[in-house]
Chain A
């Protein structure tokens, strides 16, 4: 079918771009990390309180830190080809294992936040466009402006103060009740409750961006000739907005959403730290503080793969929304 061909074309294009992108990210990250003062041996020595020159040399030799930079890069890349991300000096475990315990949490947080941002943005933007210039539009414009101007971590802090501390409705730490050992539905419910605040904090800024975008593009679509054609068919105005206007208005929104994925992951570092969410963002921060470059490189690599994968999803969504895309 035509749809299948379009999806295949989109996937092929993305795959062609993904390889060089990932390689470039790894090499650049590797070189930039060398600029950071100190290495894992230094941090271990500091934490131990004292270390002899021999111990330091031994540590460096064990982690391969005594090799020239170019050899280290070569080693890293050759291991990477075998899907081996190396060994963490800090956690004394395989980097891949460490990341794999964190990755699902980050994916869950990101996907929830992005869906939430899109959903709320579309609903709020549509409402604003439908009542443009009237009180619902003005009221929501103020809300949107507030969300737009407040940083996510502050929204998160205030949400913790209100919903966790004062009202006691929602938990603010970790991604599950530690030690409760729930199973089945209870576990899902427990996870969901823990997800609410971090996802909202992460989504807040993007809700503002998407509502404004949806409002503008919905208003733009109203002026198109095909809207009059749809009206001339005798269709109900609500149906026209849903089927004819919104679908066209969403095309620019998906484009922007794709570009925001990186920002979303950046925001996740802060939000994960704030809510004690055991995701990759917090792992990255820990790795930086411990100068554990193997873990850090692994996190950066997986993050870039994650952004690429999410972009594929967005591209597919884009191709589904707009039949003019993906045909060659």
Chain B
């Protein structure tokens, strides 16, 4: 049985539907990457799982089953028992996602003391262990530091320590490395992957970086304009992307490994923008699609399963 099963999730903001009928599942211990460009609904999907949407957002349809229980039907108090203990969150900006006026030790201890009956002293010892676990040097001294004393990479490690403190079954990482430089990025992702193995967590990795996906994810979900357009295992996806949007994404990467220097080749792009299909019926990608046929503009293509993978495009099947 899957650990998390999102079924037909639809999230609406006033005057705008951010996520449309999204369905996907994560098995225990698995890393699922949710990929798409800015504004496609990745983060909204992730925040719906924790029920931490902005106050003006509404889940209008769908179920989110975690261990077989519908999170959307839970009382707020029961949901607070799940947050931080069963499901935890790492946000994009380590600069702003830690409280600037509380020491990092206090902020990590907070989640431990919320979910476990431990003394202040025991919690502090646990925090030191956690800081060592996320490879923060001199953890016993660093524990009283404030966020502004730490670098971006260090802060993200603190966020990770906070997220794994109570041994969650699912970790949602919302673009955890976007704000970091490239070398720090791979260190943080290595750490995350190592912790996933050691703690047996599943990870929902939200990113727009296909390089990150190729290296650290087991499976991928591609989102476009609020819909999931393709789901596949990593190997299959990178050898043969099916949806025209996925193909465009892979084509738009800089090919560093090629014979010629990458700057000599033309960088391919997907023409148009996400807004192109605003207000039109049919496939949202149709205005930008190289394979478009008249039928594409009539109805929204459903996500059709094909063995291990699924794709929402009748033209390529």
A-B Cβ contacts below 8 A, count: 76
Nearest Cβ in chain B — how far from A230, in angstroms? 7
Q: Is A52 close to B, CB under 8 A? A: no
- Of all chain A residues, the one with the shortest Cβ separation from B99 is A226
B52 touches A226 (CB 8 A): no
Residue A270 CB within 8 A of the other chain: no
- Supposing A225-B93, A324-B146 touch, asked if A232 and B84 sit within 8 A by C-beta, the answer is yes
Question: Which of these, A226, A234, A243, contacts B115 with CB under 8 Å?
Answer: A234
Residue in B88, B99, B110 whose beta carbon sits within 8 Å of that of A248 in the complex: B99
Chain A CB within 8 A of B39 CB = no
A248 to B98, CA, bound (A): 12
Q: Could you tell me the distance in whole angstroms from the C-beta of B79 to the nearest C-beta in chain A? A: 8
- Verify B96–A232 contact, CB threshold 8 A: no
Q: Are B98 and A226 in contact (CB under 8 A)?
A: yes
B146:A323 contact, CB within 8 angstroms: yes
A228 touches B91 (CB 8 A): yes
Is B83 within 8 A of A225, CB to CB?
Answer: no
Cβ B99 vs Cβ A234 within 8 A: no
Q: A232-B88, A233-B84, A321-B101 known; A225 and B96 CB under 8 Å?
A: yes
- Contact flag A235-B80 (CB < 8 Å), given A228-B97, A323-B146: yes
* A7 vs chain B, min Cβ distance (A): 16
Task: Determine the residue in chain B with the shortest Cβ distance to A320.
Answer: B101
Which residues from chain B contact A244 at a C-beta distance below 8 Å? Answer: 99, 102
Contacts of B103 in A (CB 8 A): 323
Inter-chain contacts of B253 with A (CB < 8 A): none
What is the predominant secondary structure among interface residues of chain A facing chain B? helix
State A67–B144 Cα separation when bound (angstroms). 62
In chain B, positions 84-140 with a C-beta closer than 8 Å to chain A are: 84-85, 88-89, 91-93, 96-103, 110-111, 114-115
Closest residue of chain A to B146, judged by CB? A323
Give CA–CA (A321, B88) in the complex, Å.
28
In the complex, which residue of chain B has the Cβ closest to the Cβ of A247? B101
Q: In whole angstroms, how far apart are the Cα atoms of A225 and B155 in the complex?
A: 13
Are B148 and A324 in contact, CB atoms less than 8 angstroms apart? yes
Is B25 engaged at the interface, CB distance under 8 Å to the other chain?
no
Q: Contact partner of A232 among B81, B89, B98, CB < 8 A?
A: B89
Q: Report if A226-B111 is in contact (Cβ < 8 Å); known contacts: A231-B52, A231-B83, A232-B89.
A: no
**Contact code string B136-174 (vs A, CB < 8 Å = 1, else 0):** 000000001010100000000001001000000000000
Is residue B50 contacting chain A, with contact meaning CB distance below 8 A?
yes
- Residues A226 and B84 in contact, CB atoms below 8 Å apart: no
Which residues of A from 230 to 251 have beta carbons under 8 Å from B? 230-236, 243-244, 247-248, 251
Verify if A61 is at the interface (C-beta below 8 Å from B).
Answer: no
Docked Cα-Cα span, A18 to B115, in Å, equals 49
**Tally of contact residues, B, Cβ under 8 A:** 31
Interface residues of A, count at CB 8 A: 22
Indicate whether A323 sits within 8 Å of B50 (C-beta atoms), given known contacts A224-B96, A229-B159. no
Q: How far is the CB of A301 from chain B (nearest CB, A)?
A: 36
The answer to whether B146 touches A233, judged by C-beta atoms less than 8 angstroms apart, is no
What is the CA–CA distance of A269 and B147 in the complex, to the nearest angstrom?
45
Distance between A315 CB and nearest chain B CB, rounded to angstroms: 16
Residue A134, interface by CB 8 Å = no
**B82 at the binding interface (Cβ < 8 Å):** yes
- Cβ of A220 under 8 Å from chain B: no
Judge if A97 is at the interface, Cβ distance under 8 Å: no
How many Å from the CB of A195 to the closest CB on chain B?
33
Contact A235 B148 (CB under 8 A): no
Contacts of B99 in A (CB 8 A): 226, 229-230, 244, 248
Judging by beta carbons under 8 Å apart, are A324 and B100 in contact?
Answer: yes
Question: Which chain A positions have C-beta within 8 A of B146?
Answer: 323-324
**CB neighbours of B91 from chain A (8 A):** 225, 228-229
Q: How far is the CB of B159 from chain A (nearest CB, A)?
A: 7
Report the bound CA distance from A210 to B97 in whole Å: 27
**Knowing that A2-B144, A248-B101 are A-B contacts, what are 18 other residue pairs whose CB atoms are under 8 Å apart, sorted by A's residue number?**
A225-B96, A226-B98, A228-B47, A229-B91, A229-B162, A231-B83, A232-B50, A232-B84, A232-B88, A232-B89, A233-B83, A233-B111, A234-B84, A234-B115, A236-B80, A247-B102, A251-B101, A323-B100
Could you tell me which A residues sit within 8 Å of B by CB distance?
A: 2, 224-226, 228-236, 243-244, 247-248, 251, 321-324
* Residues of chain B at the chain A interface (Cβ within 8 Å): 47, 50, 52, 80-85, 88-89, 91-93, 96-103, 110-111, 114-115, 144, 146, 148, 159, 162
Going nearest first, the 5 A-B pairs with the smallest beta carbon separation are: A234-B83, A234-B84, A232-B89, A233-B84, A225-B97
